[in-house]
Amino acid sequence: MRRTTGIGTGLSALLLLGASVTAGSAPAAAAAPTPAPEPAASAGLLTAMQKDLGLTKSQVQARLTAEKTAAAVETNAQRAAGSSYGGSWFDVKSGKLTLAVTDGRKAGAIRATGAAVRLVTHSAQQLDAAKKKIDALDAPAGVSSWHVDPKANRVVVNVVASERGDNDVATFVARARQTGPVQIKETTEAPKTFAAGTVGGDPYYTGNVRCSIGFSVYGGFVTAGHCGRPGMGVRGWDGSYIGNFQGSSFPDNDYAWVNVGSGWWTVPVVLGWGTVSDQLVRGSREAPVGASICRSGSTTHWHCGNVLAKNETVNYSQGAVHQMTKTSVCAEPGDSGGSFISGDQAQGVTSGGWGNCSGGGETWYQPINEILGRYGLTLHTT
């Protein structure tokens, strides 16, 4: 395929797969960026965050700096808490990481790491044990998802409001309550994956399904597992062959990776779609609950929001998917597999959700570090 030089707007969502651009247009630039100090977020990403989060430019910059500090503090703070650790989250008002702890005697050591402290009743280990028991239950369609909420110090079970009176839902809720501290919340819709039928000119196709590239890894790219099975061929924006699904898991997980060849190559970039500047990827440090996060996808392009929950089990019609992260970012069919990024740190690949980018909704992603570990892959970074 034809290559050009430079690395401006148009680089594909990391795979630079010729570039996720409109059919018939030239592929994006392939030259690797010259290593140099860069801000944590491009000017375009700052603009997108201002729009979707309702912040000023200075507020966005301050928040990104605070979130970066919180992510760095989290490991040491959790170590200081030991077995009394009850979870953690980024508090937007204070701009600090807050750590829940069951033993007040640990508070001083935790504060010394730079984190705030909240005393709670249940440890993360106890809450995780309760969630694991719920994972073993057979969830009906009216149960949307469930996760450990460190701020509530409960396992939150989300039920579709219109299905609250269903007998199977009521039975599931009753059994869930028996596992430990459980809180029931209502949600508007059931979750669904965001794959789409073939539409010309979008990132990649497998069979009659269109999905989005997640992140470049050495030798290929990662994406959502529901987009294809091992051995299935993948075509790019121009219809030419890219490679094949080398590994895929769905349900239970929702991740996959595709090898890259036949004139295609990888670049450590998230596509800005001409709406924002392309975003360089410099690592995969996990953002805490409460942190801001943005998503790039082939249907709705750039949107931003916040991390709402981690390690959530999502009950799709095809089966439950575990260890997902929930966000307030919207998405639509075709965005599946696309990249979630916080600042310059890769977070995960889009799985599914509910709602749309006109009326709002919620979206889940499969964390990137789990995918890299599962397949022994190395993230392509600058």
Q: Name 208's Cβ contacts closer than 8 Å, sequence gap at least 6.
A: 197, 198
Active-site annotation holder among 84, 336, 339, 351:
336
Tokens 């500090």 locate to: 69
Q: Name 55's Cβ contacts closer than 8 Å, sequence gap at least 6.
A: 49, 63
Active-site annotation holder among 88, 122, 216, 226:
226
Alpha carbons 351 and 273: distance in angstroms, whole number: 20
- The kind and range of the H/E element at 325 are strand 319-327
Cβ atoms of 175 and 189 within 8 Å: the answer is no
Cβ atoms of 344 and 40 within 8 Å: the answer is yes
Alpha carbons 42 and 95: distance in angstroms, whole number: 21
Tokens 């709402």 locate to: 308
Q: Name 218's Cβ contacts closer than 8 Å, sequence gap at least 6.
A: 266, 377, 378, 380
H-state helical runs in the chain: 43-53, 57-81, 107-112, 124-135, 167-177, 368-375
Cβ atoms of 222 and 214 within 8 Å: the answer is yes
Cβ atoms of 337 and 211 within 8 Å: the answer is yes
DSSP 8-state secondary structure symbol assigned to residue 80: H
| 168 belongs to the catalytic site | no
Active-site annotation holder among 254, 278, 335, 344:
254
Alpha carbons 224 and 236: distance in angstroms, whole number: 16
| 277 belongs to the catalytic site | no
| 336 belongs to the catalytic site | yes
**Two tokens, residue 263:** 């004139």
**Two tokens, residue 83:** 């077995």
Catalytic residues: 226, 254, 336
